[in-house]
Structure 1
């Protein structure tokens, strides 16, 4: 996710934290310390309320991390590779490879809500015990709040719509029932789109009635709808790509440009005659050294084109997505990241073989649809 920073590892999995997490801690810490705790435990100092609110908010982030770590650990036990865990203001996301069976998908999806239910039950039980036995009212109040929040999150996550865990569980059940994983993914994504729309509508109705908390509900609905729409597009894309290799999609032969040329020579000798918007850069030995997007050339001022090398305005090979001609196209696209997305440079040994662009993928999907092989 854009805007996230790597913060170490959890269970051997890279952990990334979005910039919105500190905002989440401040908002929940303020709400807990200024409203919830004073109402439950009156006559305490502002410092005590502030500290307790901050501790409660941090414990909530830890419980969200435990939820995602349960997904990661279960997925790894089921044979799936886990790429990363990302925490952000609306929860978390665990990036993992596809699971092989519907049963594995169901267990992985259920592990997160189950973990939240356990945390919620333990926190509520411990809070009640502390309040009853020891009279530690402030820690008890924080634990009770933490427990109820986790229980609500668990129940919400069980709603039958992707990308929520309940949607993943429904998806696994449809997959098991029909044997059609693509159909199951599309069904869960449609459910997510409907749920997102309903949450947005309910949130705005609440705002119009004076409840500003409806903005939070509408934001969650917007996120659910956007992610569900993306997953529905991906579920449509997957059947079209299945079995294809990178060589089946790439534009070839690839247009190349020497990386030591200045921008003006590149424009005069290469850019004006090419039919492509992206060129493969090569070094003195003919090996690929990066990708050059022609719109970047246009942004170089005329006064600097004689002194600026094309490699200075290109994307270096270290930041490009690359693959071999025989790589499965579905695996290539699944491995793309925000920092390394389309276009993909296809290399055959030490030579550039082609480039895969978004237009190439779109063309494949259109041909697949024309053949009528996509089920409704």
Structure 2
């Protein structure tokens, strides 16, 4: 996912943080330190409230991470590899090598997260009631409530919430058609998102600025629900387009020893931002001008392509086992506009993102 950075790795899964998480972390820590804890536990120092607020926010992050890891561990039990988890505000997304999940697999994967959050809420509730330390009591008071809310919220039947995924799995078993099931489930997601935004608006009208959270969350859910259905439609179209049909054997390429000024000359003529680097027919890497940054013009004639390219070992490639949809996924993962198709490490040609987009326009806009 764009805008995310890897922070560590656990159980063979890369854990990444989306930039939106930092915004919510700061906002939530501030709200807990200046409003929530002073209201429920008065007469403590400002420093204490801030320590409690930051600690509670960090533990909520751990709770969300464990919720997402539960999904991923169930996936691994089903022999599905999970490459990474990206955490953003109040949730996360697991990156799977395939989206072709059996309905029952999706059902159990989706249900496992909210169930774990309910268990975690119970654990925090027990700690809250059985200990006498006021700081621990205050923090667990917040955490058991938030984990309970997280579980219930995620069980709402609106895709792509966990409850929506459970709903879609059941609909898939009923309709035998994942596209139709996703359409119905995404409507549920839009309804839930719209309802949350409406409640938030009512809250603001009645004087509660906490309604902004509901508007923000509801709007986000409404947008993601629509986008999730669009993704299924895109997949349905591209899965029917033979990848080899889109392979272009006439493509811009450079040898690894060419200087960077030659690349700029080609860019000025064609407007292309990605170029293949090869020696003979052996693929060596890709030049992505957007990642090179503002390289000083004075060194263009001295810098060689090999030193600025993305090496073959660090870029996605296509094989004859890929389909047009997996090609789109691989390009999107690395934000590239083209990828090479290889046969036994030899480059056959390239597939451009614009060719995939053209197929989508032809089918969805013109029906041909």
Tell me whether 1:288 sits opposite 2:283 in the alignment: yes
SS of the equivalent of 1:238 reads helix
Q: Could you say which residue in structure 2 is the equivalent of 1:76?
A: 76
Structure-1 separation of matches of 2:108 and 2:8: 26
Report the Cα offset of residue 128 of structure 1. 2.6
Q: Could you say which residue in structure 2 is the equivalent of 1:110?
A: 111
Structure 1 residues 20-31: aligned runs within 5 Å: 20-31=20-31
- Residues 161, 189 of structure 1: 8 Å contact kept: yes
- Residues 71, 108 of structure 1: 8 Å contact kept: yes
Structure-1 separation of matches of 2:274 and 2:19: 33
Tell me whether 1:163 sits opposite 2:160 in the alignment: yes
Q: Could you say which residue in structure 2 is the equivalent of 1:254?
A: 251
Q: Could you say which residue in structure 1 is the equivalent of 2:221?
A: 224
SS of the equivalent of 1:281 reads strand
Report the Cα offset of residue 125 of structure 1. 3.5
Say if 1:362 and 1:121 are closer, same or farther in 2 by CA, change over 3 A.
same
Q: Could you say which residue in structure 2 is the equivalent of 1:236?
A: 233
Tell me whether 1:356 sits opposite 2:357 in the alignment: no
TM-score (norm 1): 0.82
Give CA-to-partner distance per residue, 1:77-116, whole Å, 9 cap, x none: 1222111122222322222233542111111101111111
Report the Cα offset of residue 26 of structure 1. 3.7
Decide which moves more: 214-223 or 163-172.
Answer: 214-223
Give CA-to-partner distance per residue, 1:331-371, whole Å, 9 cap, x none: 33344554354322212334332222222112333444489
Structure-2 separation of matches of 1:121 and 1:37: 21
Structure-1 separation of matches of 2:196 and 2:295: 46
- Residues 331, 338 of structure 2: 8 Å contact kept: no
* Unmatched runs of 5 consecutive residues or more in structure 1: none
The number of aligned residues is: 366
Structure-1 separation of matches of 2:301 and 2:233: 47
- Residues 87, 93 of structure 1: 8 Å contact kept: yes
TM-score (norm 2): 0.84
* Unmatched runs of 5 consecutive residues or more in structure 2: none
SS of the equivalent of 2:223 reads helix
Say if 1:287 and 1:177 are closer, same or farther in 2 by CA, change over 3 A.
same
- Residues 160, 189 of structure 2: 8 Å contact kept: yes
Structure-1 separation of matches of 2:178 and 2:115: 24
Report the Cα offset of residue 207 of structure 1. 3.7
Report the Cα offset of residue 147 of structure 1. 0.7
- RMSD across aligned positions (CA): 3.4
